[in-house]
Amino acid sequence: MESPFVIVDLDRPPTWEPAARDRVVIGVAAAPEDSIDGYDVLLTALPDPPRPWVSCADPQATARELGHIIESRPAASVALVQVLRMGSGLSVPDRLVLESLAYSTLQGGATFRSWLAAAPRRTHRPAETPVRLGRDGSRLAITLDRPWVRNAFDAATRDALCEALQVAVADPSITRVDLYGNGPTFCSGGDLAEFGTSRDPAHAHLVRVHRSPAALLHRCAPRVTAHLHGACVGAGIELAAFAGRVVAAPDTVIRLPEIGMGLIPGAGGTASVPLRVGRERTAYLALSGAELSAVDALRWGLVDQIGDTDDVTADAQEAVRS
């Protein structure tokens, strides 16, 4: 089988045209070029380069590291960039459907099954009220409230968040929606205790599209402010990125870990994150699994403001009490 990736040195005379649909195409340059198309990831040594470039100390070494990851997870890696490429020409609702189709396909794949078999068994620790609402005039506060599992996103949380967001979508008198996470982190991503419990990926796709917090967030996005702190992993950033405004505490750490599981982002990340940072930087985050600090997220435009940790956590606790 042909290599699932190709690295192109853009500082040398061109010898290859990036037209592959079944490979991840990585471009590397000492300094970014003004106009360049057809690449899934673009790496440069220049500090703080313009979008869509990603800065790294040694672009060639970083490209090789990405290549090792892609070779170990070829189906998920190629599916990721295919979804991102196709999604750029689709509406957000259609991007979410496309993402879910690819995610369900990968759920039935050997790589995810192997990861699942090797993962330690976890006990599901549900909450009676995983999402809490507080209404103050025209303001609606929505708080993820499973702090003992760092607000891990399970099916009950998904359904409760859908119900909360449906209130905001249906009520035009709500002019401001604040989204919080109670406890040490905003959201640590999908609840691994539930991973693999659905044995029917086709049915899981229908449920994912029918009960979609991402789609509802997109519908009311201009009124939503997401308040991030601590770990914002997987769904934690994928959903928050839909908000019209994202405020991150200084301790915020963002990561997309799904490729390591043999999957792609499945909570809307291939639709929301590219709207803020572009598909190339989204591909880099997902393929590398690298942590993005609040400062770098602000520089990239993934968050709009860096706030204060104490303010964010105090607001979240107050929202839970109200």
The candidate with the shortest Cα–Cα distance to 264, out of 132, 75, 127, is: 75
Asked if residue 23 lies in contact with residue 4, where contact means CB atoms within 8 angstroms, the answer is: yes
172-176, 207-211, 261-265, 305-309: the lowest-pLDDT one: 305-309
The per-residue pLDDT for range 164-176, each reduced to its tens digit, is 999 999 999 999 9
pLDDT band per the 50, 70, 90 thresholds, residue 78: very high
What is the gyration radius of the CA atoms in the chain, in angstroms? 19
How far is residue 112's CA from residue 73's CA, in Å, rounded to a whole number?
9
Confidence of residue 317 (pLDDT cuts 50, 70, 90): low
Per-residue pLDDT at 33: 79
**Residue 310 scores a pLDDT above 70:** no
Q: In this predicted model, what pLDDT tens digit does every residue of 189-245 receive, in sequence order?
A: 999 998 877 778 899 999 999 999 999 999 999 999 999 999 999 999 999 999 999
Domains of the chain by residue range:
5-72, 92-321
Q: Report the candidate in 293, 197, 313 with the shortest Cα–Cα distance to residue 252.
A: 293
CATH for 92-321 is: 3.90.226.10
Question: pLDDT per residue over 270-280, tens digit each?
Answer: 999 999 999 99
Distance CA 310, CA 313 (A): 5
- pLDDT, residue 91, reads 98
